[in-house]
Amino acid sequence: MTITTTARSRAGHIGAMVTHSRHDARTTTAAARAAARAAALARFEREVDPTGSLAPAERSRRAEYARRAYFAKLALKSARVRRANGTAALGGGRPEAKEARHAAAEPHSD
């Protein structure tokens, strides 16, 4: 079964609301971001130095470039998909972006 982008987005919003209803966002959000950032950095460090033989500074330098390459590839893939869907430079497929495009396209009657 395929889940649409809209359904996935709504599920994410529901999950965020449940999380915020159970925890103080001012403290858990920063802690969660820090933990996620550390885990991502560790992943890139393992990727560039699986045996742990590099000096820490060199491992960090390479991991930073691996991270940049990963996100550059992700951005390229996203741009290609948006271009293929005809949503590039139009604010994506978000309903509020569509409304803004239509409002901007309508002639103003001042």
- Say if residues 5 and 93 touch (Cβ distance below 8 Å): yes
The span from the CA of 11 to the CA of 77, in Å, is 23
The two structure tokens encoding residue 47: 């990727």
The whole-angstrom separation of Cα 97 and Cα 74 is 22
What residue spans define the domains of the chain?
25-105
- DSSP letters of the chain? -PPPHHHHHHHHHHHHHHHHHHS-HHHHHHHHHHHHHHHHHHHHHHHH-TT--S-HHHHHHHHHHHHHHHHHHHHHHHHHHHHHHT-TTTTTT-HHHHHHHHHHHSPP--
pLDDT tens, residue by residue, 20-42: 888 887 777 788 888 888 999 99
pLDDT value at position 56?
Answer: 95
Predicted TM-score (pTM) of this structure:
0.55
Other beta carbons less than 10 A from residue 85's beta carbon: 11
d(CA 1, CA 59): 41
Quickly state the pLDDT bin for 98 (edges 50, 70, 90).
low
pLDDT digits (tens, 9 = 90+) for 39-90: 999 999 999 999 999 999 999 999 999 999 999 999 999 999 888 888 665 5
